[in-house]
């Protein structure tokens, strides 16, 4: 399958200088991820894991706009409207890929330049070497379309300093390079002008040497500097209480955050908060991915996912009509239904076991 605009494969896979190269190749769609792309990446990674010629893997995005804008949500919209199963099977393979990246036996280098959202985070932030630039804009925008952070995103968000991850998830805040490193979504800062040199260095030297030659001190994190009011508000046990604390804090940024949360799907926000709290005590990424799969499948049958994508991407009126319309109307019983077991449809991931190492 090819992108009609380029007549090229949607993902380019090859080897260069001992590096397995993955290039997401849908630049007009900011390299949005679809099932075809996932189905090509996974076997390549599996093959390279046992290929002595491959020292490391590198994933980048074609074009100037970003690594990956997320999953192909227009396809998800049509699938949800028609009651299909295509999205469920896409997520199944996508989450399996996320786990494979997290456990990859060789350096997995992700260039998180430009826009990196949703599914883009899934194919980069679980890697062992995560590079950001001054152009990086990273986020989990799911609550804005009636969805819940997935691709192992709740695992990452739940492990940020304090309650920063809760703020990011509920407001869909965008992370700068400094924010991403402070929040554990990235490791190294390389200015965009040095990325080409870094990629070439990977082909002629070790990952460590390439990093040493190109990395610079990371910018400060504006988000980390606001942790006091964020922790005070987002440590609450419900979205309604979080909003109340934000509104009462007297901090202008907190008041803005309250407005942002209130604009998102009330159901998605409530389920997201529950997902984050559960992910915080989970023993492994695999456990979290299993639960995210349950939640994603449940979202397919929810009115808010179709309505959210319609308002943001299809009709673009930016005026979603959420059901229920307010956070006070979302019951604990409704939230619980999103975590119901799927029986034979479960994702079924198990954490890898290493002799003498308890995960």
Active site residues: 71, 119, 142, 150
Specify whether the CB–CB gap between 54 and 106 falls below 8 A. yes
What is the distance, to the nearest Å, from the Cα of residue 226 to the centroid of all Cα atoms in its chain?
22
Rounded-to-integer distance, Cα 240 and Cα 246, Å: 10
Which two structure tokens, joined as six digits, stand for 245? Answer: 């604390």
Half-sphere exposure of 10 (CA within 13 A, CB side): 20
Rounded-to-integer distance, Cα 160 and Cα 304, Å: 27
- Whether the link from the prior residue into 283 is cis, omega within 30° of 0, is no
Rounded-to-integer distance, Cα 193 and Cα 133, Å: 9
Alpha-carbon dihedral 185, 186, 189, 192, rounded to 10 degrees: -80
State the DSSP code for 105: S
Question: Comparing C-alpha atoms, which of 317, 325, 321 is closest to residue 306?
Answer: 321
Which bin fits 114, alpha (ψ -120 to 50), beta or left (φ > 0)?
A: left
């Amino acid at each position: 399958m090819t992108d009609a605009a380029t007549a090229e494969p949607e993902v380019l896979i090859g080897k260069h200088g001992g590096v397995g190269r993955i290039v997401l190749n849908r630049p007009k769609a900011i390299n949005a991820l679809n099932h075809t792309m996932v189905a090509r990446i996974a076997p390549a990674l599996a093959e390279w894991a046992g290929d002595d010629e491959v020292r490391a893997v590198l994933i980048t995005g074609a074009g100037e706009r970003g690594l990956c804008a997320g999953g192909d949500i227009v396809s998800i919209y049509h699938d949800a409207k028609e009651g299909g199963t295509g999205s469920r099977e896409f997520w199944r393979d996508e989450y399996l890929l996320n786990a494979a990246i997290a456990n990859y036996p060789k350096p997995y280098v992700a260039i998180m330049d430009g826009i990196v959202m949703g599914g883009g985070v899934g194919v980069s932030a679980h890697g062992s070497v995560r590079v950001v630039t001054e152009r990086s804009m990273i986020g989990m925008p799911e609550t804005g379309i009636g969805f819940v952070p997935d691709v192992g995103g709740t695992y990452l968000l739940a492990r940020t300093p304090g309650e920063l991850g809760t703020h990011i998830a509920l407001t869909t805040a965008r992370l700068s390079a400094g924010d991403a490193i402070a929040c554990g979504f990235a490791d190294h800062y390389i200015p965009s002008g040095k990325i080409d040199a870094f990629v070439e260095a990977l082909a002629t030297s070790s990952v460590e040497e390439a990093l040493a030659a190109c990395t610079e001190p990371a910018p400060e994190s504006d988000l980390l500097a606001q942790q006091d009011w964020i922790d005070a508000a987002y440590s609450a046990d419900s979205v309604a209480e979080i909003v109340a604390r934000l509104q009462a804090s007297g901090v202008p940024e907190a008041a803005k955050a309250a407005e942002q949360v209130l604009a998102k799907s009330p159901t998605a926000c409530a389920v997201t908060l529950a997902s984050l709290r559960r992910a915080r005590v989970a023993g492994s990424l695999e456990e979290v991915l299993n639960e995210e799969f349950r939640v994603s499948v449940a979202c397919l049958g929810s009115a808010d996912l179709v309505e959210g994508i319609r308002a943001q991407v299809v009709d673009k009126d930016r005026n979603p009509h959420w059901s229920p319309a307010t956070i006070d109307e979302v019951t604990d019983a409704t939230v619980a239904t999103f975590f119901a077991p799927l029986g034979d449809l479960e994702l079924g991931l198990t954490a890898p076991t290493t002799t003498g190492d308890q995960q």
